[in-house]
Amino acid sequence: MGAVDNVLRLLRLYQDHEMIRVNQVAREMGLSRSTVHRMLATLGHHQFVEQDEFSRAYKPGPALVDIGLSVVQNIDIRALSHGALVNLRDETDETVHLAYLRGTDVVFLDSVESARVVRTGARVGRLLPAHATAAGKSLLAEKSDAELAALYPSGELSAPTPNAVTTLDELREQLAEVRRLGYAFNNAESEVDVVAVAAAVRDKRGRVRAAIATTAPQSRCDDAWIKDTAAATVRTVRELGERLG
């Protein structure tokens, strides 16, 4: 625990300093230069810090910056999107979710449940395989073939239910359809008896920030439900995107 504590204390130095030096860290933290060197070398290996070419001081690395930006963006989009989720829930009378992509999974940031007695539940904090969810497929559809191959190097996919695709080739076919339609569809692929439609949220710069999914029990999801709910979901993500910088 002492080593972890020292690393966290070192990273917090960036709150007050644009760059840090070995002597400075050793002095402020009361550690030896050799200990500080080892800590910075480990952090550098994982891209949490990087050494400036000219001053040889250490500045925040891309991994640390990306994590910080991701946290801020996720907090920002959750706060900005909650009202949109409520409105979409009221319009469709179904449960709606906000999710983002983490590797080959989707993480659910927020949910607003339907008031119906028979409904799908909230998923806040849950991780589900992206290829088996509407939210995940709407986000994977933004990836190139090379990016998809890197995410699924074996070409084999897990099957949470019998309806889920199990190969990358099958997934690519589905993603092509997502791009054509402008929304994704999930027919009981991640959970039995749960159907969903979803669309990606793009900010004003065209960057994909998250996805909004509308879910319902399979028993009431006919073709008309899919068409109407997809239209409402797509309209919601477009309106939300206009509010995101």
**Which residues lie closer than 8 Å to 210 by C-beta, 6 or more apart?**
74, 77, 81, 98, 99, 100, 109, 139, 200, 201
Contact 25, 10 (CB under 8 A): yes
Residue that finishes a domain, picked among 44, 60, 76: 60
Both 51 and 141 in a single domain?
A: no
| Confidence category of residue 74, pLDDT binned at 50, 70, 90 | low
Both 40 and 98 in a single domain?
A: no
Give me the mean pLDDT over the 54-65 stretch: 82
Both 29 and 77 in a single domain?
A: no
CATH of the domain at 9: 1.10.10.10
How many structural domains are present in the chain?
2
Contact 157, 131 (CB under 8 A): yes
Both 76 and 152 in a single domain?
A: yes
* 77 has a pLDDT exceeding 60: yes
| Confidence category of residue 69, pLDDT binned at 50, 70, 90 | low
Both 49 and 91 in a single domain?
A: no
Residue that finishes a domain, picked among 60, 81, 110: 60
- Read off the pTM: 0.71
Domain extent, residue 71, equals: 66-241
Tens digit of each residue's pLDDT (9 = 90 or more) over 133-173: 999 999 999 999 999 999 999 999 999 999 999 999 999 99
CATH of the domain at 74: 3.30.450.40
Both 111 and 178 in a single domain?
A: yes
